[in-house]
Amino acid sequence: MEDKTLTCKDCGTNFTFTSREQQFYADKGFTNEPQRCKDCRISRKGQSGGGSYRGDSGPRPSFDAVCAECGVATTVPFKPRGDRPVYCKACFTAHSPASV
Specify whether the CB–CB gap between 86 and 66 falls below 8 A. yes
Statement to judge: residues 48 and 74 lie in one domain: no
Same domain, 27 and 47: yes
pLDDT attached to residue 6: 95
Q: Is there a single domain that holds both residue 14 and residue 39?
A: yes
Q: Residue 62: pLDDT above 70? A: yes
Tens-digit pLDDT profile for residues 14-55: 999 999 999 999 999 999 999 999 899 888 887 765 544 555
Q: Which amino acid is at 100?
A: V
Predicted confidence band at 9 (pLDDT cuts at 50, 70, 90)?
very high
pLDDT-derived band at 99 (thresholds 50, 70, 90) equals: low
Cross-strand partners of 64: 75
Give the structural domain span for 76: 63-95
Same domain, residue pair 36 and 67: no
Q: Is residue 78 domain-resident?
A: yes
Going by pLDDT thresholds of 50, 70 and 90, the confidence category of residue 1 is: confident
3-state secondary structure at position 55: coil
* Mean pLDDT, all residues of the chain: 85
Tell me how many domains the chain contains: 2
Is 100 inside a domain boundary? no
